[in-house]
Amino acid sequence: LEQRAQGFKEQLKAKYPGLELIADKYADGQATTGLNIATDLITANPDLKGIFASNLIMAQGVGQAIAENNLAGKVGLIGFDSDEKLIKFLNDGVISGLVVQDPYRMGYDGIKTALAASKGEKVEANVDTGANLVTKANMKEPKIDALLNPKLD
């Protein structure tokens, strides 16, 4: 999570120097804490343009704060990961986008790498399995829909 937040801050500074980072907060794995943090930020910063939530729990809390304050479409939210609640927020316009990983690919590449290592083959220390930006506009595309609604049978 720290790497996600650090990468966000680095890209914000490099590509969007006109945007100001007003807070760097963590919810400590509690959606209610995320809700409270976001509500406080919204109240203290009426011109707030957006929030980046680096994990599922924080995105749930921030999404709830945006919904409760009727700020869908006014305060953008980019979250990480997905569940039914975040998918509903995305569909309702509360969330602008979700960064979603591919757990099948992560598992497949993990086993493939472990097998190669067990045979004494050289393996990469890190394997990037990618991430996908999911928006309301692309959430019904087959590839994206499969990430949001995986078939478990």
**Tokens linked to 69:** 């304050």
**Structure confidence at residue 132 (pLDDT):** 95
What is the total count of domains within the chain? 1
- Residue 21 in any domain: the answer is yes
- Residue 147 in any domain: the answer is no
**Structure confidence at residue 4 (pLDDT):** 85
CATH number of the domain that residue 34 is part of: 3.40.50.2300
- Residue 129 in any domain: the answer is no
DSSP state of 26: -
d(CA 118, CA 5): 34
Would you say residue 153 has pLDDT above 80? no
Residues 6+ apart with CB under 8 A from 69: 39, 42
- Residue 63 in any domain: the answer is yes
13-43 pLDDT, tens per residue?
A: 999 999 989 988 888 888 999 999 999 999 9
For residues 49-65, average pLDDT: 94
**Tokens linked to 19:** 């945007």
Domain range enclosing 16: 2-100
- Residue 49 in any domain: the answer is yes
Contact status, residue 85 vs residue 59, Cβ threshold 8 Å: no
**Tokens linked to 1:** 């999570």
Would you say residue 71 has pLDDT above 80? yes
- Residue 152 in any domain: the answer is no
Q: Which pTM was predicted?
A: 0.86
- Residue 36 in any domain: the answer is yes
Question: 47 pLDDT band (50/70/90 cuts)?
Answer: very high
Residues 6+ apart with CB under 8 A from 35: 61, 62, 64, 65, 68
Contact status, residue 76 vs residue 51, Cβ threshold 8 Å: yes
